[in-house]
Structures are given as C-alpha cells and as structure tokens.
Structure 1
C-alpha cells in the first residue's frame, strides 16, 4: 500500500475524489508541512441543489488546514470544480471534507471545538493548534450560531435567572437556565428588569409563551422580582438558596456578636450557628 492509498483511507475519500500528489515541505532538512493534493476523475459530474447531475464549468483552487501529521502542519489542496446548474447558474461544488466557505477541514474544526468544550480558552487552543486565535473564533461562532438556531426550548416551564460578571468594572450578563434540563436557554447583557424582558422576547421567538413559565428561581434583586412579575405573570418565584442563606448568616452573625459580649460560653461556637451552605 503506497502513501496515496494510506491517506485516501485516512481522509475517507470516495469516488470521484482521489489523491493526486503527496509532498513534504522541508527547510534546512527539517519538516515544515505535509501537503496533500486532491483531484477528481475526468468526466465526473456533480449534483446541483435540485439533484440534477451537471457538467463542470471550471475549477477554483482552494486550500484547507487539516489535522496535524504527527507534529507537522497538514494542508489539503484541490482545484474544486464549479458546475453550471440546471437553472444556468455557476456554483462551486461542496467537498466532503470541509464545510462551505471554511479554510479548515471538518476534522480540524471538530478538534478545535472539542478543546473549547473542555473549557480551554480560545487563545490557548490557537497556540496548541498553531493557528491564529481569530480563525479559531470563526470556527466557534459558526457552530455555536448553528446550534443556537436549532435550539428548541418549547417545553421549558421552569427558569432560573442569575447574573454574573463578565469582566472588571461591573459588566454583567444575565443567564437564563432551564431548571429541569439544567441547560442554558439564553444570555443577555445587564442585570436589570429589562434583561428579564429580553429573555422573554427570545422565548417568544422560539414559540414559548410567557404564561408557559410556571416557576422562576432568582436572587433577591428587586429588579429581578419586578421583571418576573411583569413578564412571566404565571411564574411562582423561588428565591435562590445561596442568597437566602447569606442573608440569614449575616443576621445570625450580628446577633452572635452581640450575645458573645455577654456570654463567654459562646466563644469558639461561631459555626455552630452559621451555615456553610
């Protein structure tokens, strides 16, 4: 089995695609990159959007970044055919190893997304894959937007709302979570009553009526309380345990400090009264 046959199997190529050439770029006796050149069989026809087989009009040279070959960069090159469709339009053929308008193969994008999913920062992913972080962001944004559009929260009835700081300087975002499935439904900037309304507007776009929400878990923020009452009128409000315990501990600690001044036997019993969770 020669190198072309090995890489054909590795790339999962099927007719009419095949490998025309494999070359290794070197510099001062060190390997820089592996270049795999792809082609298609002469006389091949490709289907258009209507399923009609169309003849090739011309070709367009394209290059994609692929998974590394050991520690070396691997690039795929192909003169991709453009067909004249049954409607008379000229269209670039979709290739099986990459999505449309991407400079990366699907396998490379899958690796990048897997690393990000493991909570690795995008800049670190770029450094690990030896790729510009801005290009990694394009991969991330594409697949996240695709998933976002396909998201279906139509069965949600219980929502949890919480704000978190996204950077220094009191820059907050509010996160809405499905309490039953424990997944994020929507994220908006800010932490006032309008953020609750913005989340409601998103749910309406996803065919979720406000009256469908019967339970809402929030902190003790007056803005959130007002927002829930005005936006989700059927929702019963439950206050987040963490914030309730925090207030309870604060009040208990004040009483403990006052009593401690008069009762020495309370010395060393701070956490007998205060809850940790």
Structure 2
C-alpha cells in the first residue's frame, strides 16, 4: 500500500492531491510528500474565506507531519496567492496548517497529547522538533479547548494555589471536581481576593448559584470570597489543613500543660505526643499502658 493511499484514508483534503512520496535527499530527513492543488480548483483567501483566482505561487515550503514508523514526514507544497476581490492579493488558506505554522495541525495535536505525558523537552527530542514547536502545539490545544469548553451543569469545584516561583509567587487554580468529570477550569495570577473574584465574574452569577459544593484550603482570601459569592454552596475545607491546625493546637496545649504541671511539682510525661495523635488500634502496648494510667516501660 502506497503512503498516498494511507494519507488519503486518514487525512483527505478535497481540493488537494498527494502527488508523490519519496525519500528526502538524506534518509535521516525522512519522507517528503509532495502536495499539489486539484485541477481547476480555486484557492481560498486566508483573509475572508472566499475563493478567488490564482495570482502567483510562493516558493515551496515544508510542513512537518505526524511521523510514520519512526520516520519524519514532511508535506511539501508551493502555496498559491489569491487574487481576492475583497482582500486583494492574499496567501491561500491551507487545510492542513494554520497561519505561518511549519507543522501540520495533525502533528500539533499529536505533540500536545504526548506533552501531557512527557516534558516538553523530551517530547521535542523524541519526535525530532523544537521545544518552541511543542509549546505552540500545547498553546493551540489549550486555546481550542477554551473556545469549545462547556461550563453548564457544573455542581462541584475545587480551589487551590500552586507556587510557580520563589518568593511567594502563586497561581490560583479552579477545577471542576464532579463525579466523572474532573478538569481544570481557570487559572489566575496570585492568590488574592481580587484573583478569585475574577473567577466568579468569569463563571457568572447563574452558574455560581447552581454550585452545590466548593472545596478549598483555609486561605483567608479564599474563605471570604467564597462566603460572599457562593454562600448557597456547601464549603468543604480540605482535611490536610484542618489536621495541620489540630496538630499545632495539640502541641501548644501540651506545652502549656507541661509547664503548668512542672510548676506545680508534678512529674511531666515526656515522649507521649503520639498518644493523642495515633489511632487507638495503632498504639503500642507501652504507650497504651500510659494511657490507662500504668507505668511506662523503658
């Protein structure tokens, strides 16, 4: 089966023909697939989308495509310039690439999927491209997702911050955490009241009123904004920060009690912190004996 047949089955463009497929000058460069316009087809203006006559041709360009059997694949095409009655002379719109990109849209989607599993540098090295190409592919996928995302029916969100630089530099992240649908919804600079307020303005009053659950940590800025903007939702505080405060309170009370008992002349039991923190079933016999009022074995 010829490569052109495979391409026609997987990625057919009606006004264009895969004319030939051959090795590049160096086999390390991969395969070159030459593309030409179909006979009597008229190019589409990249400005307004109307068809027009061919004004002239630009020099050939290569567009990197999805690799095949570990070999780089390149589309080679000399783009036409359109004599558009509306926009004047414009370069034609190409169905396999957007704008001035040197990679096909299929290859961009391919890279963006791998960039979810690997670092961008590793993705670039494995598939023979540059870090900036992977970056643009991810940016394309994210922008497409933002334009096509659906925000209706969201009942549960989670709010968290992530440090991206030393010196307390943070992003605020908002996730959808409904059962069966978990995704990142929004990213904002910093972790202030104004930051989270921007999310609720973006999300809209109607959608906010339909929220049933909001999960966050105990950052004061988040607590105040959630109480103001979404007081109809059940606000769930994450367990980690609650237990962290409990542990700090236990340490503070134990220290106060130890000082008070020592002042009154009582013997202070040391190294018994985990007596309060461990589950009853996980207590060792020696510690459990202390809990029951017995003597502690050394």
The reply to whether TM is greater than 0.5 is: yes
Matches within 5 A, 1:176-255: 176-180=174-178, 181-204=181-204, 208=206, 210-252=208-250
Give, in whole Å, the separation in 2 of the partners of 1:88 and 1:132: 34
Distance 1:55 1:275, change over 3 A: farther
2-side partners of 1:275 and 1:77: how far apart?
A: 70
Aligned 1:1-277 pairs, distance under 5 A: 3=2, 5-6=4-5, 8-9=7-8, 12-13=11-12, 15-27=14-26, 31-46=28-43, 54-60=52-58, 61-85=60-84, 87=86, 89-118=88-117, 120-180=118-178, 181-204=181-204, 208=206, 210-252=208-250, 262=268, 269=275, 272-273=278-279
For residue 15 of structure 1, report the CA deviation from its aligned partner: 4.9
Tell me the CA shift for residue 94 of structure 1: 3.2
- Which whole-Å CA distance do the structure 2 matches of 1:274 and 1:146 have between them? 53
Residue 76 to residue 265, structure 1, CA distance change in 2 (3 Å): closer
1:154–1:208 CA contact under 8 A, matched in 2: no
Length-normalised TM-score, structure 2: 0.73
Distance (whole Å) between structure 2 residues aligned to residue 165 and residue 272 of structure 1:
31
Greater mean alpha carbon deviation, residues 180-189 or residues 232-241? 232-241
Matched residue of 1:117: which SS? coil
What is the number of residues matched between the two proteins?
A: 269
The 1-side partners of 2:186 and 2:108 are apart by 24
Cα distance in 2 for partners of 1:193, 1:104 equals 41
Cα-to-partner distance string for 1:192-213 (whole Å, 9 max, x where unaligned): 2222112122213xx7465444
Contact 1:4 1:19 in 2 (8 A): no
Pick the structure with greater CA Rg.
2
**Does the CA-based 8 Å contact 1:252-1:274 persist in structure 2?**
no
* Pairwise CA distance, 1:108: 1.3
Unaligned runs of 5+ in 1: none
Asked whether the equivalents of residues 160 and 179 of structure 1 are also in contact (C-alpha less than 8 Å), the reply is: yes
1:230-256 Cα shifts (integer Å, max 9, x gaps): 333444433222211222234345667
